[in-house]
Structure formats: C-alpha cells, structure tokens
Amino acid sequence: VDPNLPIGVFDSGVGGLTVLRALRKRLPNESLIYLGDTARVPYGTKSVESITRYATQATDHLVTRGIKLLVIACNTASAVSLEPVRDRFAPLPVIGVVEPGAAAAVAASTHQHHLVLATESTVKRHAYARAIHALAPNAVVDEVPASLLVALAEEGWTDGPIAESIARTYLAPALGRRESKPQNFELRTSNFELDEAPDTIVLGCTHFPLLEHAIRAAVGPTVTIVDSATTTAERVATLLDEQHLRRTASEPPTMTLLATDGAERFARVGARFLGEEIEAGDIEIVDL
Amino acid sequence: VDPNLPIGVFDSGVGGLTVLRALRKRLPNESLIYLGDTARVPYGTKSVESITRYATQATDHLVTRGIKLLVIACNTASAVSLEPVRDRFAPLPVIGVVEPGAAAAVAASTHQHHLVLATESTVKRHAYARAIHALAPNAVVDEVPASLLVALAEEGWTDGPIAESIARTYLAPALGRRESKPQNFELRTSNFELDEAPDTIVLGCTHFPLLEHAIRAAVGPTVTIVDSATTTAERVATLLDEQHLRRTASEPPTMTLLATDGAERFARVGARFLGEEIEAGDIEIVDL
C-alpha cells in the first residue's frame, strides 16, 4: 500500500466532517478524501441491508480512487456495516467511530457508569452499550436518544439558552432526576445497577461535538465528555504508525470533498462541521 | 368513478397524518388510505426528478388499490410534482397542500403581507410565495425556513418554553425586529414593500400544526395562523361536492395506513400527528 494515498472518510451526510476535522487536526500531514452520501441521508431509518449496500458502494468508489485506510464516520453505518465492509475490502484497514468512542469512555470512567447521547437509530441498536460492555462487562450504560440535537447542529444554533435547555432536558433525567424521564428516555441496558450518576458522556453522533459547550453547561464540570471524532482520529494515528502508513511525500497534503447530492447545502451546513469555509464549487458530486 | 372508493393521501413520511386528521374531521364519512414513503423521507433534499418519480410510484400504488381522489400532503411533492402527477393520472382529481394554504392566506389577510413558515426546501423553491403571488400579485411574502420545528414536532416537544423560544427565535425578526435577522432568514420575495408586519402566518409544512400553540404564544393574538391541512380538507370537501363524489355507502368508513419502512416508528411518531394511537401491526409495509 502506498503511504502517500489519502485516508478515506465515509459518512451518510455532513456530520462526519467533525471526524474529518479531528483527523486534520491530529494528522495535519495526511491527505484526506471525504464522501458524504447526502442523497440518501439519513441512514438511521433505513434497513440493515440498505445501509450495508450504501456503505459498500461508497467504499468501492473511494477504493477505486485510491485510499490507504477507511474511516466510517457515520455512527449508524459503523454499528451496522463495519464487519461486512472489512470482510469485503480486506486487507484495507477500516475503522468505525463506535469502538474508539466506547474505548475512550471506558478508559476515562472511574466507576463505569456511562451516558450515551446518540440518534434514535444508534440507541435502538445499542451500538455503544454493546461496545462498552465488550470492554467493561459490568458497566452501566444509559442511552439517551437526542434527535433534536442533530437539527440544532445543522441549523447552527449550537450555543445559547435554547441549545442549553434542550441539552438539559435530555440529560437531567439521566443525571439524577430519574423520576422525570422524558417519554423517549430509554431504559438502562445493563442489569447491573449503581447509585452513582454517570461520570462520562459519550457523544455518540457525529453532530454532537458542535454542541459540546451547551452539553457542558447542562452537565457541569465534573463529567468527562467523550467525543468519538477525536478518539477515532487518535485510533487512526495509532494504526498508521503500527502499519508504517504515515504519509511521506513532501508536497502539501490534499483534501477532497465528495457528495452524492446538494453541493450548495453541503457547503453551507458542512462549514460548521468542518470548522472552516467550504466553496460549493469545490465539492464534487458523484453517483454511486 | 365509484364514490365509495377511498380518498388517497400521499406523503413523504408521517407529517401528512395532520392532513389525514383534518380530512377525517371535515369528512367523517369518507374512507381514507394513507401512504407515507418513510423509506425515502425527507424529500426536500432530493432532486426534482427523484421526487416526481417517487410521487408517481406512490400514486400508481394507490390508484391500483382504487382511490377516487388523491391528496399530495407533502409540501415538497406538492410544489414539485403536482402537475406531472395530474397529467399522468388524469382524470383523477389531485389536490396539493400549497395552493389551498396560499388561497386561505390571501382570503384571511387585510393588507396582503404574509409570513410563510416552511422547511428549507419549500422556502428555497418559493412554493408559497409563487402561489400567493398568483392570487395577489402585490402581496409581500416573507419566507422563513424553520427546520428545527420539524424535529420538535417529531420529538413531541410541541408545548412549553423550549418550543415557544424556538418559535419566537424564528418569528421575531419577521414580526418587526428586522435588524436582528437570523443568518438563515430569507430575503423577501416581493419588491413591493409595506411597513406593516405580516397579518397571516402560513404553516407551510405538515409538521407545524402540532406547534400551533407555541407559534401562537410567540406571535400574539392578532395574527391569523393559516393551517394548510385544514384548508386542504376544505378544498377536498368542495371538490367532492362539485364532482358528486361524496361517499354514499352506509357501512362505517375505513382508514388504511401504508408505509414504505419502519412500522414501529411510524406508529409511535405518527400517533402525535394523527391525534390518536396507531398500532404498529395495523400499518402495512409496501414496496414501491
């Protein structure tokens, strides 16, 4: 494998640009190619078969262009399609976002009581709970579906009283006031009960790092907030080192943005996730 | 045409159940068949060609089952695909939600200054502005994309301080404090400027009737809130009378619910839109 090939990043839309941002920050000398399947977003409501088919098509496209490693930035696709994509494209290294996030939460926790904020579909699949239990079988994992946070992040209303009260509404019941559970609050997924409140909050959706300030305001200073984007970038860095795949070329690295629909919206909304301006003209629309 | 056939209602998801609810209220003796294309929701980000293809497939399915009239409850599909569907399925009467909403707004307004709350895609297509201008060429139409209201309605957080402050944030700039436009506030679509604030608010998305109380709290008592669902049901009633298509059978009318994916979520979220419980087992999943 040519270490000067880019790292591929696949997501169902623009949310994975938070992972791209974390990769650029952690690995500034790596070339990156991002593919957002904006024509078919959201994946959460699609069947397992469809999601794996989409993930395979996207990976095929990126592999044809040439990549040395693939990151599946979408939580839903990571939960559902990581193994099928790994099997099909072996020996291409494929990294999802769920396992690194779960591992970081387990490492950061003192009493293994975790709160996972995620989309409805990720909660329904218990993706993080299963990944955390694989590492810490007695962990208590509260999973809170927080769909409104996705819309808040896409709208750009990431700070201020509205964002904070929405974060508080989702989190307060899990952080002590259990009697006032909102109706969509999921039951604990572990039988092992502890009295302590969660000491980690896992941001189990690519959109949520944008809301970290509002979430911090809602939970106070003592809880550790684990961001899957950052921990996934760390995992990628480790893997590149282990496999001697660090880029060696001296020219500046490149960043390529691909989407399956809507360059204008991708540029406008995506800029908030990437943390810098995106020109719609720089986005290449591809047909999978 | 057999007047005892049901009225067909097509939507991209569960939102159109507010239109189904308005039809049941206005026409309690009519049988109804609803098809929500939950596998491909949302339509707003899809291309015009795709939306018309989906609308045609859905109509085909409903026509095969037998309907006497079709309501396109989805604002995006109404804006994009009403004419192609009318042409293809003539002489089937086909009614969209945009024209009835626009007509009701024009009829209710004293100085023809309207504020349309809609999704980003409906605003981008200026669907309501064009329909209002067709009836009142000098009307001033402010169009406000309000994506978060969709997520609020789906989450069921339709009342209380969070819903009201979100409604106020979207509406305040358009209702007088223009200097503090949020970044996604669209420019007026008419050159004809009036000093008066809007005297109608058009709920230009099937989800928004659920938020009428919060919107009312944000705008005060003097503005007329026009709900496309109710006005569309009124239009259907008129058309049934004109074409002598009122149901005559004496047995109780039926209601059939079809979706293209996710019966469990359809039942849970849809109940809020229909205003009554839905059993997941009563939803038939169809493949278009």
In a mutational test of the A interface, the residue from B14, B41, B166 whose CB has the highest number of chain A CBs within 10 Å is: B166
Q: Determine the distance in angstroms separating the CA of B107 from the nearest CA of chain A, rounded to an integer.
A: 33
Cα gap B201→A50, rounded to integer Å: 40
Q: Which of A39, A147, A161 sits opposite B151 (nearest CB)?
A: A147
Collect all residues with Cβ–Cβ distance below 8 Å to B58 and sequence separation of at least 6.
Answer: B10, B35, B37, B288
The residue of A155, A164, A166 whose CB has the most chain B CBs within 10 angstroms, and thus the best one to mutate to test that interface, is: A155
Report pLDDT for B140. 95
User: B155 to chain A: which residues are within 8 Å by CB?
Assistant: 147-148, 184
pLDDT of residue B178: 42
Q: Measured between CB atoms, which of A45, A161, A165 is closest to B261? A: A45
A105-139 pLDDT, tens digit per residue, is: 999 999 999 999 999 889 999 999 999 999 999 99
Q: What residue of B is the nearest CA neighbor of A39? A: B46
Span A216-247, pLDDT tens digits: 999 999 999 999 999 999 999 999 999 999 99
Mean residue pLDDT across chain A: 92
B154 interfacial to chain A (CB closer than 8 Å): yes
Select the more confidently predicted residue: A194 or B159.
B159
Looking at residue B195, its pLDDT comes to 52
**Of B32, B74, B104, B278, catalytic:** B74
Best residue in A37, A38, A45 for a mutation probing chain B (most B CBs within 10 Å): A45
The answer to whether the CB atoms of A148 and B156 lie below 8 A apart is no
Q: Tell me how close the Cα of B193 comes to any Cα of chain A, in angstroms.
A: 28
Is the predicted pLDDT of residue B49 greater than 70, yes or no?
yes
Any A CB within 8 A of B57 CB: no
Instruction: State whether B148 and A151 contact (CB < 8 Å).
Output: yes
Q: Which A residues in the span 224-283 are in contact with B, Cβ-Cβ below 8 Å?
A: 261-262, 265
Chain B hits for A47, CB-CB cut-off 8 Å, are 261
**Which residues of chain A neighbour B166 with C-beta distances below 8 Å?**
162
pLDDT at B186: 46
Contacts of A285 in chain B (CB under 8 A): none
Average pLDDT over residues A158-168: 95
pLDDT value of residue A17: 98
**Cis peptide upstream of residue B3 (ω within 30 degrees of 0):** no
Q: Which residues of A touch B163 (CB under 8 A)?
A: none
Q: What's the CA gap between A145 and A121, in Å, rounded?
A: 8
Q: How confident is the model at residue A145 (pLDDT cuts 50, 70, 90)?
A: very high
Kindly list the residues from chain A whose CB atom is less than 8 angstroms away from the CB atom of residue B46: 39, 261
Q: Do A148 and B151 touch (CB under 8 A)?
A: yes
- b/e code A239-255 from CB counts within 10 Å (16+ = b): ebeeeebebeeeeebeb
What's residue B185's pLDDT? 45
Task: For residues B169-185, give the mean pLDDT.
Answer: 63
B165 touches chain A (CB under 8 A): yes
Residues 95-134 of A with CB under 8 A from B: 120
The answer to whether residues B85 and B70 touch, using CB atoms and an 8 Å cutoff, is: yes
B211-225 pLDDT per residue, tens: 999 999 999 999 999
Q: Other C-beta atoms within 10 Å of A277: how many?
A: 10
A-chain residues near B45 (CB < 8 A): 38-39, 41, 261-262, 265
The H or E element that residue A152 is part of is helix A147-155
Residue A285: which pLDDT band, with cuts at 50, 70 and 90? very high
Q: Would you tell me how many other CB atoms lie within 10 Å of the CB of residue A114?
A: 28
DSSP reduced 3-state for A7: strand
Does B74 qualify as catalytic in the annotation?
A: yes
Chain B touched by A167 (CB under 8 Å):
no
Q: What is the Cα–Cα distance from B79 to B83, expressed in whole angstroms? A: 9
Q: Which of the pair, A195 or A284, is modelled with greater confidence?
A: A284
Cβ separation of B169 and A162 shorter than 8 Å? yes
Lowest mean pLDDT segment, chosen from A42-46, A112-116, A184-188: A184-188
pLDDT at B78 over 90: yes
State the DSSP string of chain B. --TTSPEEEEESSSTTHHHHHHHHHH-TTS-EEEEE-TTT---TTS-HHHHHHHHHHHHHHHHHH--SEEEE--HHHHHHHHHHHHHHHTTS-EEESHHHHHHHHHHH-SS-EEEEEE-HHHHHTTHHHHHHHHH-TT-EEEEEE-HHHHHHHHHT--SSHHHHHHHHHHHGGGGT-GGG--TTPPPPS-S---SSPPSEEEEESTTGGGGHHHHHHHH-SSSEEEEHHHHHHHHHHHHHHHTT------SPP-EEEEESS-HHHHHHHHHHHHTS---GGGEEE---
Q: Beta strand A224-227 with A255-259: parallel, antiparallel or unpaired?
A: unpaired
Cross-chain residue pair A151–B151, CB shorter than 8 Å = yes
Could you give the C-alpha distances from A35 to A93, A255, A282, in angstroms and in order? 17, 11, 13
Tell me how close the Cα of A180 comes to any Cα of chain B, in angstroms.
15
B257 versus B44: the higher-pLDDT residue is B257
Are B162 and A161 within 8 A, CB to CB?
no
CA angle B16, B20, B22 (to 5 degrees): 110
- Taking the Cβ of residue B145 and every Cβ of chain A, the question of whether any pair is shorter than 8 Å is answered with no
- Chain B residue numbers with beta carbons less than 8 Å from the beta carbon of A154 are 147
Interface of B with A in 194-233 (CB under 8 A): none
State the smallest CA–CA distance between residue A238 and chain B in angstroms: 37
ipTM over 0.90: no
Which conformational region is residue A262 in: left (phi greater than 0), alpha (psi within -120 to 50 degrees), or beta? left
